[in-house]
């Protein structure tokens, strides 16, 4: 395993993308299912595609920590541990997988990058479904139809767009371009 140096620049990038994630999480369209439409999926994938696997996941972990202590950075300007144990909590934990897998594809071709991001999205939705099952006391099929299926196309497009935007931003921030 290659040792990575933590620099001031990398810490600033992680903090900056944590802030981007927080802003894009607060903006929401409420849905009757209790899972709002947000740009979180885009922002989480962007964290990975720009920062890489561990820094991208670190940015999401920092976002989760900030929200857990009560700062209102989660969807709908909510914060606190109750959000993590509520109907959307599984998705929040699933964001770690999405960011890491999106970031793990940095340096690969576009098809691999999109595929890796979509696998991360699948893990995110799986965690979201399981979290909803636990919080709402419903079965897996009902949870899938309620909190995953209606969002799949939007979330998949978010990952693809995040990969494209991430390639440009990564190039601007560090001189790297997807091949």
| Residues 12-69: tens digit of each pLDDT | 999 999 999 999 998 888 888 778 889 999 999 999 999 999 999 999 999 999 999 9
Greater pLDDT, 69 or 7: 69
Could you tell me which of 126, 130, 129, 106 has the C-alpha nearest to residue 116? 106
Separation between Cα atoms, residue 148 and residue 173, nearest integer Å:
33
Mean pLDDT (the chain) is 92
CATH-assigned architecture of domain 8-174: Orthogonal Bundle (1.10)
Separation between Cα atoms, residue 46 and residue 40, nearest integer Å:
10
Structure tokens at 44: 């989480």
Which ranges of 3-109 would DSSP assign to H, the alpha helix?
Answer: 8-26, 40-51, 53-68, 81-84, 89-104
Separation between Cα atoms, residue 50 and residue 58, nearest integer Å:
12
- Which pLDDT belongs to residue 173? 81
Sketch the domain layout of the chain as residue ranges: 8-174
In contact, 100 and 56? CB cutoff 8 Å: yes
Structure tokens at 63: 């976002």
Greater pLDDT, 112 or 2: 112
Phi, psi angles (nearest 5°) of residue 116: -65, -40
Could you tell me which of 139, 144, 88, 97 has the C-alpha nearest to residue 116? 97
Q: Is the pLDDT of residue 106 over 50?
A: yes
Q: How confident is the model at residue 2 (pLDDT cuts 50, 70, 90)?
A: low
Secondary element (H or E) of residue 38: strand 37-38
Give the C-alpha distances (Å, rounded to integers) separating 10 from 52, 98, 110, 129, 145. Answer: 11, 20, 24, 33, 39
Q: Is the pLDDT of residue 136 over 80?
A: yes
Give the C-alpha distances (Å, rounded to integers) separating 47 from 30, 55, 134, 139, 152. Answer: 24, 8, 28, 32, 19
- Which pLDDT belongs to residue 31? 83
Separation between Cα atoms, residue 140 and residue 76, nearest integer Å:
25
């Amino acid at each position: 395993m290659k040792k990575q140096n933590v620099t001031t620049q990398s810490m600033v990038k992680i903090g900056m993308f944590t802030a981007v994630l927080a802003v894009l999480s607060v903006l929401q369209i409420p849905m009757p299912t209790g899972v709002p439409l947000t740009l979180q999926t885009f922002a989480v994938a962007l964290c990975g595609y720009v920062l890489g696997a561990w820094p991208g996941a670190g940015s999401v972990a920092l976002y989760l920590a900030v929200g857990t202590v009560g700062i209102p950075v989660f969807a709908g300007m909510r914060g606190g541990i109750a959000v993590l144990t509520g109907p959307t909590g599984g998705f929040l934990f699933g964001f770690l997988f999405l960011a890491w897998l999106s970031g793990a594809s940095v340096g690969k071709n576009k098809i691999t990058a999109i595929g890796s991001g979509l696998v991360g999205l699948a893990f995110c939705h799986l965690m979201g479904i399981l979290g909803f099952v636990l919080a709402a006391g419903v079965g897996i099929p009902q949870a899938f139809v309620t909190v995953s299926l209606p969002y799949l196309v939007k979330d998949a497009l978010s990952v693809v767009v995040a990969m494209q935007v991430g390639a440009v931003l990564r190039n601007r921030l560090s001189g790297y371009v997807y091949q």
